[in-house]
Amino acid sequence: MGEKAREGRGMRIPRRVSIALIVVIAYVIASLVGPLTLRSDDLRNWNNLDYWEMNPKAKPPEWYGAFKGLPPSEWLRGKYREGVFRFTYDFHYGVAPEDVVIVANTTKSIEVTLTTPDNETIRLFAGSPGLMNYTLHLGENYPLFEELAEERCGMRLTGESFFGKNVLNIVFSEPKEDCLTNPKPLYGRYVITVKALDSPIVRLLHGGRVPRLEPNETMKVFIAGQSHGLLGTDTLGRDVWVGFLGGMGETLLIAFAGALISVGLGLVLGTLGAIGGKAGTGSNLASRFLTVLPTLPFAMVTIIALGTIELENRVYVIRIHSLYVALVLGILLTGNVSRNVRSIVKEELRKGYTESSKALGGSLLWILRKHVSRILIPYSLEQLAIAVPGVIALLTLLGFFNISPGFNWSSLMSQTIVYNAQYQFLWWLVLPIGVSMGLLAISFVVIANWIEEEFIKV
């Protein structure tokens, strides 16, 4: 019957199927090439929270920030002259950045000042960078901002009062009442100056000489903005683009391998179940058990049992090979496929042409290979196309319960619920994966429908 359909209509691939194939191929290519475009350190340190500690937390993408007037994250270019480093920041945004971070490569005490566009100079830090692990988060210098809030905003505040507020609004806005929570941004060029701290005691320690920074005592300034990168950051400051593109390869590997296992095992169990005998009885019981088994809870328990839970850089991770994950998910999704295969094989074995083949001495194996396989092969391809997005959806769903084995999309989804659901919904964590799952699901369904129309239906 499939042959008649093909003879009548030919093998012309419809445009919708071509588009679906292009989408699938594009994602496969992206999963292979994409990680090569990322920094290897970013991929290697995905679970290293210290590595991402300078990034702003839970911030949207820069392209979204451009519409909302949010400052992006950026490294400032500095100039060195006569022992002083100067960095210029062009500020033209609606709100102040989240933090200004100084990475100091010196053991000397330093002074950091900020000169505003109206030529007001504000001291932001004075002391030894070694006490701050050589990374100065100026936005966390709350004792200083208590004084600045009173001077510039007329507000008497303590450290607890700054919780949930952007303290840098105080220095990136015009001095006025309530400039912390209702700032009027002061646009223009800000100059951040870093130099050696000068005082009589420091001069005494330097033999009476004026202290100065040398060119090899490098300084770097990072503006932790209110937006970051192509896809923003999660609640731990990790770059979502790195997680999305870097985790795509393992996600698709698990999806394709899991789908192959699901369909392959379904073919075996369904065919044996239709034949009968002891093997058929056992296969039939196994397929019934897999059909009624609660998939998600059993997947969670099995993956945790097979893997090892380790504390890595203050983050609990599940160590398990991705193929083991594919095996677990593939087996758990076998039930319906095996039941359908069993029905197909039993129906085919009752038809007249199979009875004629038996009468002519054809073995059961020959009948399955010559006759039944003509139905099972296109059906298997159809089920394979449907199973791939199913495995992706199940893998991603595990992330909502903080079951994120390996480096894949489930680890991003775990951040959405486990760390941040009580505060806000980070759409930039959900949207890339949601759109990708939707595109892949639609593409595979289109392919599956075409296979059914072209090869299965009369």
Mean predicted confidence (pLDDT) in 97-108:
92
- Predicted local distance difference test score (pLDDT) of residue 457: 55
More confident residue, 127 or 209: 127
Tokens for 197? 């701290």
- Which domains can be identified in the chain, with CATH numbers? 2-39+237-456 (1.10.3720.10), 62-224 (no CATH)
Per-residue confidence band for 202, with pLDDT thresholds at 50, 70 and 90: low
Mean predicted confidence (pLDDT) in 143-166:
78
Mean predicted confidence (pLDDT) in 173-186:
86
pLDDT at residue 421 tops 50 = no
Taking only the tens place, the pLDDT of each residue in 324-342 is 889 999 999 998 888 888 8
Cα–Cα distance, 85 to 80 (Å, whole number): 5
Per-residue confidence band for 204, with pLDDT thresholds at 50, 70 and 90: low
Mean predicted confidence (pLDDT) in 392-396:
86
Lowest mean pLDDT across 24-33, 259-268, 295-304: 295-304
CA distances from 116 to 36, 152, 333, 381, 455 (A): 41, 13, 62, 66, 72
DSSP state of 188: E
Mean predicted confidence (pLDDT) in 342-370:
68
For the purposes of burial, counting CB atoms within 10 Å of the CB of 104, is it exposed (0-12), middle (13-18) or buried (19 or more)? buried
Taking only the tens place, the pLDDT of each residue in 430-441 is 888 889 988 998
Mean predicted confidence (pLDDT) in 34-42:
92
pLDDT at residue 47 tops 90 = no
Nearest CA to 89 among 157, 179, 190?
A: 190
What is the percent of the chain with per-residue pLDDT over 90, rounded to a whole number?
34
pTM for the whole structure: 0.81
Per-residue confidence band for 423, with pLDDT thresholds at 50, 70 and 90: very low
More confident residue, 270 or 361: 270
